[in-house]
Chains A and B, each alone.
Chain A
Amino acid sequence: MSATMEPAAHVSSAVRTDAPPAILLDKVNKWYGALHVLRDINLSVAQGERVVVCGPSGSGKSTMIRCINRLEQHQEGRIIVDNIELSDDLRSLDAIRREVGMVFQSFNLFPHLTILENCTLAPIWVRRMPKKEAEALAMDYLTRVKIPEQANKYPGQLSGGQQQRVAIARALCMKPKIMLFDEPTSALDPEMIKEVLDTMVMLADTGMTMICVTHEMGFARQVADRVVFMDRGEIVESGVPEQLFNDPKTERLKTFLSQILRGH
């Protein structure tokens, strides 16, 4: 690792174990055709908990978090988000998506809208927020991710790191209770990874419930309350970062960690 993120002082945790879990996956199974991509996934994420999901590509980690806001449908088991069970009922789906923000590997900003419009669209139309208020909120978040001066540009005019920070701000403008990150730094040039990770650390500091699929082990050590290791559609191991990284129990995790370290 090119030392983009030194294991710094652990960000103070805000895990609330007394409250009901923010996300609960109970024996979740999913198939693509005959391919069994999620196998009996059990995962409970407490409010304020920060979970990092890692694993080799094709291990189902992206599929798992995409099931949480139903960009993918699971076929067996239950997923309960913010006390609402995911079902075919569209209203419950809308309710969940309002509370769950998502950041994608490929940013997925809307290229025909300005940065400000990207951030205000959903608050105005989904949250029914007055335009002025939505714009003030968007400028507030754009300031926090340190790009307020780009508000009137189009996504195509920004660097990858800036676009990803806008994507984070856009998700935050919906005031979500939970944030999902699907490999947010994988499509970025090395010099831009840090600015995005810094933004995510800042967010973690606010006590946001987060699930983050990433290979940034420095980030995991600094921020995560728990690291979940997935392989071939299963959760193989999970635990606090130090324990998982320093004392892997399974061969699969050992192999994965050695590959990650050799790769950098």
Chain B
Amino acid sequence: MAEIAAEASAPRPLQDAVIGPRRPPLLAVGPVAWAKTNLFSSWLSTAVTLALGYLIIRWAMGFIDWAFVNAIWSVPVTNGQAQTQACRALNGTGACWAVVTEKHRFMLFGTYPYEEHWRPALCVLLFIGLYIVSAMRRFWRKELALIWIGTLALIGLLMWGGVFGLSYVPQERWGGLVITLILSTFGIALAFPLSILVALGRRSRLPAIKTLCILYVELIRGVPLISLLFMASVMFPLFLPEGINIDKLLRAQVAIILFAAAYLAEVVRGGLQALPRGQYEAADALGLGFWQKTGFIILPQALRLVIPPLVNTFIGMFKDTSLVLIIGIFDLLTAGKTAIVEPAWQGFGIEIYVTIGLIYFIFCFAMSRYSQGLEAELNQHRVR
């Protein structure tokens, strides 16, 4: 012990030469070393690893048996009636994917006229194309707003029809995935800018604007989305003069936008508050006006800071659109539920819900992964 201390405190000979850099000590690397430190470091950890490994493999094999080995992918149809006896004979030991094969069109497009299904299908593709284009940073220019307006107009035209030889389809017959995408895309696209205005308003020095924004956030945030949807669908029409009827989907859409904007506004406000005061002062001292300061200095930094909670709210919103089922709008989830009302298919809910869950998951997971990439990319300036 004393030797070590003596050695450590021994003065290094004075020298002018710079000591060259060394590599860090080699750690044990590679998958075997990783498993050794993380999975089998002690007898307890080995036991837990083995027990969990056994459970996982057993569950996975059971799932594979159910989902693939014993599954039935299609059933014969006679006189327009699906013959589901084979599926029922499985008695739960295998998945009856036939219900999805049979009903996928209803799940995706609801009660939209069957021979016109290409229209909502094209709309879904347009939405996905719009997401992909918007996700690419090289398209982040002024033209993107025009692309959005154009695409959304085209989607409206395709869905409604009534011109260019397309037959008119009333909104009551729309349904399925396309409704979910319409509600969430318009919802996010309009709620986000609104939320920025509300967040800025909440920090305004003008008392009237500030009070209005606080009231808005607190009132909307204080009630469940379901009650807002009920108000939009039941109460709101009572206040309208007779003969005027605003589309039910539009009313639900407005309710969703207002609801989401209240939450997003608080997220954005968090970002605004996280910015050091010096950034505001530097912008002021340079003579930048309010909107220049906000647009060039404050928002670009504030929004970067809050990408994780923003995307969190976006994902929540995407799934919350399924609540429109309570006012009788056929989104993806409602369409799926309705698909298995038919006597022949009753009892095959699991397959339907697994499929719907998978669709939701794909969209949400894509958002999540994209946001992580975006965060890393946009915060490059913080890396030295």
Interface set of A (CB-CB < 8 Å, partner B): 69, 71, 94, 97-98, 100-102, 104, 106, 108-112, 121-122, 125-126, 154-157, 170-171, 174
Contacts and interface: CB of A to CB of B under 8 A. Distances in A.
Contact of B287 (A71, A109, A154, A174): A174
A154 B379 CA distance: 11
B381 to A, nearest CB: 4
A112 B304 contact: yes
B285 A97 contact: yes
B279 interface: yes
B274 interface: no
A32 to B, nearest CB: 15
Nearest to B301: A112
Interface residues on B, range: 20 to 34
Interface in B44-96: none
A108 B281 contact: yes
Interface in B329-384: 381-384
B129 interface: no
- Which 7 interchain pairs have the tightest Cβ spacing? A108-B282, A97-B287, A108-B278, A122-B286, A102-B285, A154-B381, A98-B287
A170 B297 CA distance: 14
Given A112-B304, A122-B288, 15 more contacts: A69-B285, A101-B285, A106-B276, A110-B283, A111-B381, A112-B301, A121-B288, A121-B296, A122-B287, A126-B287, A126-B288, A126-B289, A155-B381, A171-B286, A174-B286
Interface of B: 276, 278-279, 281-289, 292, 296-297, 300-301, 304, 381-384
Given A112-B381, A125-B292, A125-B296, A106 B287 contact: no
B381 A104 contact: no
B281 A71 contact: yes
Contacts of A111: 301, 381-382
A184 to B, nearest CB: 13
Contact of A109 (B282, B288, B383): B282
Nearest to B298: A110
A135 B298 CA distance: 22
B284 A97 contact: yes
Given A104-B278, A125-B292, A71 B382 contact: no
Contacts of B284: 69, 71, 97
A171 B284 CA distance: 12
